[in-house]
Structure 1
Amino acid sequence: MKKQAVRVLSGLPRFHGVSTERYAIEADYIQEDDTFINGMKLFSRMKGYDIVLMNSSTRGLFGLCLMRWLRPFHRWRLVSLDIHLNEPTGWKQRVATVLKRFLLKKVDLHILFFTDLAGYERWFGITSAKSRFVPFKVNSWEIISHDEAADGEGEYVFCGGRSLRDLETFKRAMAQVSFPGLLLYQQDPSFMALHGTPVDLTGLPPNVRPERHDGNNDTWVEYIRRAKIVVIPAFSNSIYAPGLSLYLLAMALRRCVIISEGPQTRGLLDKEAVIVPPEDPAALAHAIEKLWKDGAFRKQVADAGRKYAERCAGEGRMLADIANACGDLVMASAKEGKPWV
């Protein structure tokens, strides 16, 4: 069976040449500058493509959507991948959300790494009818060795990552236990704050050691490999799914994960992690205590997590799923007889 070629202008650097049973991707890479103006400028480059794929480029996506409203006649389809949206707070953000919801009507398909769309649908009108779930990949999956994924006791309770982390709850939970903890923050507190993670290093309990990370992937993997428990505390009002990358990497390394309940867990995780209520230091402390002391339970959770990571696998699987989503959109549009948007 001949594969259908799909021409894509893509923000994914390794998308060209991806081939599935049905589709062959012919992609040109765009180095995305995530600004509203750049999204508008991209409009002039779209001729000849079937799909324009915007990867985690939220502001650029809005600019491109505006141009689709202003110049509505074109053949290409607009796909957003992993769009990051937050629940509005205050009247100014609510007004902006109304405009964003209007602009996003020009997106033909949202490819997302989570399934709980309640917040996205309520605030931005993103429904399951215009979305497709693709499991996220395990970063460094292709180079993680069997030795790195072997069982091990670990040294500390690890908390890291930059997006939408509730570090205050982690601090308060660790104050209720005596085990050593490591709080890893990236670059500096102001950088973390830009990604929705307030960092206040004052008042840390004496058993928690803060360390600054320079963003090096090898040392990032090493920090996680040496952990006994990996904690991902999220805020209760998060409508996005923070922590996917971290918990998949931790699971691949057979590190036991504790994570706040939310879009990052609903419909995705069950026994693969210990799920606790968000913003509940007592519940988090109880989970840390149990996992630290109960080696059999810790191994049970870590083994289930490892199997989940194996199913998610690496970038190759993820890109193939994205290729199928793009190809299916092109074919569905052709069957509907709607070459013009």
Structure 2
Amino acid sequence: MLIVTNYTAFPARWHTTDGVTGETAIARSFADFRRLGGRDDAVFVVNGDAHTVMQLVLARRLGLCPHRPIVAIDLIFRRPSTFKSRASHIFKRRPLSGADLYINFFRDTRGLADIYGIPPERCAYVPFKVNLDPSDVATAVRSEDYVLTFGRSMRDFDTFFAAMERLPLPGAIPEVDPAALEAHGARFTRSLDALPKNVRRLSDDGSSRAQLDMLRGAKLVVIPVVKASFVASGISTALNAMALGKCVIGSAGPGMTDIFTDEIIAVPPEDPAALAEAIRRAWTDDALRTRTAAAGLRTAERLGGEADLVQRLIDRIAASFG
């Protein structure tokens, strides 16, 4: 089998865990997919690029490219909420739902079925990965200085702020641009000079090193997600925090309570009182915090990094099309 993909971490030659072998061709554009997909055993694998998925689906229907299986990995799906997005959704829904397999980093695909018409039988769950360098994690000096909320996609900073205002505990967020966060579906309606007095801002240049520095200083890592999210929002932050042995508190929903159990403390989304109580309990209950962090660390170590994820993806793709 030839995997034609934009995911550059796929090796040129690969084998599945049960011994099937194959090759990879890297496609950096729609034209590359068309050009490289001539082999009968080719499979188009598109990582995180909804536009290319739609192009391939439409081209296949019109006979403008080889009729090969299309696998979509980790597409960013959003619930249309404005007039413009609802109008766009009418035209995008069919081509976006036309791939043969959708590999997601979450199990609960009801939103994909209800909003995009993607049935469960064309969805597959593959566990995600830790996105920090193992050597950096191993040598990081940990402390327990604050309650940290970190990330962009569908993050509910407003609920975190409302929860922290109820608590006499130190909180922290990264240096952020609230307007930029809005493009990622986040909720951050306060001005930066109106944050709770117990929440400070930490230096963040967007690098993995900056994320590591913020996470290693946290006693708790909170991942509040808005109710509208129906995909995994925060899975990378969660696994990175777990790899550092941190206790994670997350909003119930896809990408959290459908894939984690003892590894997190779950709270209802957009509920400041429930979040405040969960933070208070985890901060003061050493046994709860340690137990949750230990379960998360075991999961992070088991899932590993990029190479481990790529192997899981290859195994899943080959199982369907090999």
TM-score, normalised on structure 1? 0.86
Partner of 2:293: 302
**Partner secondary structure for residue 3 of structure 2:** strand
Show the 5 A alignment for 1:260-279. 260-279=251-270
Partner of 1:64: 56
Partner of 1:244: 235
Partner of 2:144: 154
Whether 2:222 is the aligned partner of 1:227: answer no
Whether 2:98 is the aligned partner of 1:106: answer yes
**Partner secondary structure for residue 4 of structure 2:** strand
CA contact (8 A) 2:80 2:86 kept: yes
Bigger CA drift: 212-221 or 175-184? 212-221
Task: Decide whether aligned partners of structure 1 residues 161 and 262 sit closer, same or farther in structure 2, where only a CA change above 3 A counts.
Answer: same
Task: Decide whether aligned partners of structure 1 residues 105 and 216 sit closer, same or farther in structure 2, where only a CA change above 3 A counts.
Answer: closer
Partner of 1:12: 7
**Partner secondary structure for residue 70 of structure 2:** strand
Task: Decide whether aligned partners of structure 1 residues 75 and 328 sit closer, same or farther in structure 2, where only a CA change above 3 A counts.
Answer: farther
Task: Decide whether aligned partners of structure 1 residues 229 and 105 sit closer, same or farther in structure 2, where only a CA change above 3 A counts.
Answer: closer
Tell me the CA shift for residue 306 of structure 1: 0.9
Tell me the CA shift for residue 63 of structure 1: 2.3
CA contact (8 A) 1:7 1:50 kept: yes
Describe the superposition over 1:94-142 as per-residue Cα deviations: whole angstroms up to 9, x where unpaired. 3433332311343111111100001111011112211111000111253
Describe the superposition over 1:130-158 as per-residue Cα deviations: whole angstroms up to 9, x where unpaired. 1111000111253355454x9x5510001
CA contact (8 A) 1:11 1:55 kept: yes
**Partner secondary structure for residue 67 of structure 1:** helix
Describe the superposition over 1:4-58 as per-residue Cα deviations: whole angstroms up to 9, x where unpaired. xx211212112023322233341122346xxxxxx47853543236111111111
1:30 is aligned with what amino acid? A
Corresponding residue to 1:166 among 152, 156, 168: 156
Whether 2:115 is the aligned partner of 1:118: answer no
Whether 2:207 is the aligned partner of 1:216: answer yes
Identity score, percent: 32
1:13 is aligned with what amino acid? T
| Gap regions ≥5 residues in structure 2 | none
What is the distance in 1 between the residues matched to 2:304 and 2:81? 37
Q: Report the aligned-residue RMSD.
A: 2.2
What is the distance in 2 between the residues matched to 1:212 and 1:139? 19
2:61 is aligned with what amino acid? W
Bigger CA drift: 15-24 or 220-229? 15-24
Corresponding residue to 1:138 among 120, 125, 130: 130
CA contact (8 A) 1:97 1:123 kept: no
What is the distance in 1 between the residues matched to 2:98 and 2:260? 32
Partner of 1:337: none
Corresponding residue to 1:195 among 148, 167, 184: 184
2:115 is aligned with what amino acid? W
Describe the superposition over 1:266-325 as per-residue Cα deviations: whole angstroms up to 9, x where unpaired. 321111111000000111111111111111211111111111212222222211111112
